[in-house]
A and B are shown apart, each in its own frame.
Chain A
Amino acid sequence: MGAVHDHDPHRAAPARGRALRLGIGGPVGSGKTALTAALCRTLRDELELAVVTNDIYTTEDADFLRREAVLPDDRIAAVRTGACPHTAIRDDISANLDAVEALEARHGRLDLIIVESGGDNLTALFSRGLADRQIFVLDVAGGDDVPRKGGLGVAAADLLVINKTDLAPLVGSDLDMMGRDAARVRDGRPVAFTSLRERPSAPEVAAWVRAVLREAHEEAHEEAHQEVHDEAHRDAASRAHAPTA
């Protein structure tokens, strides 16, 4: 699963030659599928994209994405989670890995595969074996105290998205407080405020995804460069130690 980097020993860098896998998790109804659809629409012309949905009960999410035609049908795969959405993204990721690998086998080199979790609770977290980066999606109508309550998703996701900001005045949610509470538990990791109603292309999240892909690309490039360098070094060393004729 790629090299271990000193600055973050827990981060699995994407192995060269495979797509970056982006997990999108969050509670039921927070807007995971709508965000996935928005990212597909915004990024599909610049990236080779595919999506795996994890539906709780039906293939509703995959059907929605297909109906909306955000991607061709054969780039959308649905995984059933046996009543345990967090198991399928964390404890036993095999069905999702299977779906991801099947998409890569079908389409060759992809840039990005989005794995959308089934709606879950605040402790849900993607395994590093499945997702290289992960987004946790909350919505303002779910209660503005949710960031303060924390939980693995809110605290540890690479990007926290606070969605449906257009509803904040209607439900009496305090966006500033949500931002402050999130910042307190997130140790500097970014938070994005989105309203897919007002900004349907999710520009804040798309920009973050582009930056992540750039960073992953640079890491892979550095790794390749380092390997070439190491090899040259080894060659030179072996020449230096080679017995002279």
Chain B
Amino acid sequence: MPSPSALPAHLLLLADSRLPAGGHAHSGGLEPAVAAGAVTDVASLAAFLRGRLATAGLVAAALAAASCHHATTRADVGEGHTTPGDAGPDGWGLLDAEADARTPSPAQRSASRAQGRSLLRVARATWPHPSLDALAAGAAGHGPHHPLVIGAATAAMGGTAAQAAAVTAYGTVTGAASAAVRLLGLDPLSVNRALGTLAARIDAVAADAAARADGPWAGLPALTAPQLDLYAETHRKAELRLFES
């Protein structure tokens, strides 16, 4: 049931960095960027975040919006009418493959699935819903991609595709920013100001992503960030690392 609140508390829970969904162990590619010397201060962090938001951020937000739309429209048939096809290639499996196709780096795929598994665990505990069950069944073994779970969880609490996109776009920069505070000892106030400066861009990316929620999945944004992909691969082989990705 849609919430009458402009800022529903369920949604705040989903966007909260304290949500126990494993995000604290991932840096969104920031740790290898620091190791490579590409991010050294607040200015270079801000540039990194802008790039990440415009590429990986838009792709993830669009996938989340599409997932939320899919979960909402599937759920319209009503409980007990979930077909086995939901788990197969015409349902969640296909959207999951679209996410795979937009994630060329195996390390990033595995990081996305690890976070998807963790989020699915807490989402099913907090907002039980047939779509989350179908998503779990469709990705047995390796876990669904992270943005798909954000979308389905948003649908499970009665949220909209636009809200799923907003939570996702926001998360693609806040996780990396918090990792920068830990890795570089940056002033947290300056880092938060940098995030505040990005707020309008985050909203714009979310709106762009949400506008495509009900379109064909093949047409979802497929922007790449080759340097982030390469960082993800070198990071996985690095001997010293604090973050999983």
Contact = CB atoms under 8 A, between A and B. Distances in A.
A123 interface: no
B237 interface: no
Interface of A: 56-58, 79-84, 87-88, 91-95, 97-98
Contacts of A91: 18, 20, 24
Contacts of B27: 82
Q: Which of B25, B121, B183, B244 has the most CB of A within 10 A?
A: B25
A47 B225 CA distance: 48
Given A80-B243, A92-B18, 17 more contacts: A57-B241, A57-B242, A79-B25, A80-B244, A82-B26, A82-B27, A82-B244, A83-B179, A84-B24, A87-B24, A91-B20, A91-B24, A93-B20, A94-B22, A94-B121, A94-B122, A95-B25
Nearest to A105: B141
A214 to B, nearest CB: 31
Top 5 nearest A-B pairs (CB, nearest first) are: A94-B118, A82-B25, A94-B22, A92-B20, A83-B242
A95 B27 CA distance: 14
Interface size of B as a range: 20 to 34
Interface string B159-198: 0000000000000000000010011000000000000000
B241 A94 contact: no
B20 A94 contact: yes
A92 B22 contact: yes
B222 interface: no
Contacts of B20: 91-94
A97 B182 contact: no
Q: Which of B24, B27, B117, B118 has the most CB of A within 10 A?
A: B24
Nearest to B175: A82
Contacts of B179: 82-83
B25 A81 contact: yes
B94 interface: no
A119 to B, nearest CB: 14
A98 B241 contact: no
Contact of B240 (A58, A87, A93, A95): A58
B21 interface: yes
A84 B240 CA distance: 15
Contacts of B122: 94
B118 A95 contact: yes
B160 to A, nearest CB: 26
B241 A92 contact: no
A57 B243 CA distance: 8
